[in-house]
Amino acid sequence: MTAGKTKLPIAVAIPTKNEGLNIAEAVKSVLGHFEAVVVVDSHSTDDTVKIAEECGAEVVTYTWDGGHPRKKQWCLENVRTDLDWILLLDGDERLSPRLLAELRQTFRNPAAPKPAAYDIPLGYWFSGKRLRHGYTIRKRSLTDRTRCHYPEGGDLDAPGIGEVEGHYQPVAASVGTLRHPIEHQDLDPVTAWFERHNRYSDWEAWLEHHPEVKEQVRQVKSRQGQLFHKAPFKPVVSFAYMYLYRRGFLDGRAGFDFALAMSFYRWQIALKSREKPVR
């Protein structure tokens, strides 16, 4: 941390499970800048815990009992509850210096009125290259825990997700937007990306056979996610949106590969949902 600067009045919670390749960069990007940096680990079998402790983070263990709260909501309820604001950072994410500066400006007066949460853009890396054009996701990563919560959806029995909430946002009465990104730079091989999205597609296909739960999820997705939820021909629309409309072609081979991979992910969901009902 730069000499003379006070720490941000925010707890950083980093949910992990087997993030040994990524956790050091995640912790180093926030340590010294925030009042607390806590790694919430789900019994990792690699060196995640050892590396996190060596880097200076506090580590606590999370054990899912199959019900609510799931892991992110558990963080809101249990991680450094003396601090109202909490930043959830994935183990393969790190804060950009520009975002740190923006947070310092935003919280220069801790008593000033603020929205209940902030949506933050995600700087996405795929196959070793930073995507500049085709990826446009914002994550509601920074919340005032006293005014936000993750919904308790009806998908506890769904395959593919488990202990962590699915692809939806915490509920907040008011939301602000930050300009600068969290960098999602996964150092795992690209095969890990396909393995994760194979599991995610199981969950998405399950939702297709449980419309009441699907609607619950749709209502708490981002605006972009809600619109895409209703789009027909999702594999084609996904590729056209990322590669053409959002000019992913300017990212070269990585832009093409990512747009194609996401289109394949949408195709997986459709194929799995048509094959048979997922119980």
State residue 50's pLDDT score.
Answer: 98
State residue 225's pLDDT score.
Answer: 61
State residue 136's pLDDT score.
Answer: 78
**Cβ atoms of 92 and 188 closer than 8 Å:** yes
State residue 1's pLDDT score.
Answer: 47
H helix or E strand, kind and range, residue 149:
strand 148-149
- What DSSP designation does 63 have? -
State residue 223's pLDDT score.
Answer: 63
Strand 117-126 to 129-130 pairing? antiparallel
CA 166 to chain centre: 9
DSSP string, 92-105: TEEE-HHHHHHHHH
- What DSSP designation does 155 have? -
Q: Give the Cβ contact number of residue 125 at 10 Å.
A: 18
State residue 43's pLDDT score.
Answer: 97
**Cβ atoms of 149 and 202 closer than 8 Å:** no
State residue 228's pLDDT score.
Answer: 63
- Note the pTM of the prediction, 2 decimals: 0.92
Residues of the chain with pLDDT under 70: 1-4, 222-231, 276-279
State residue 230's pLDDT score.
Answer: 64
State residue 202's pLDDT score.
Answer: 96
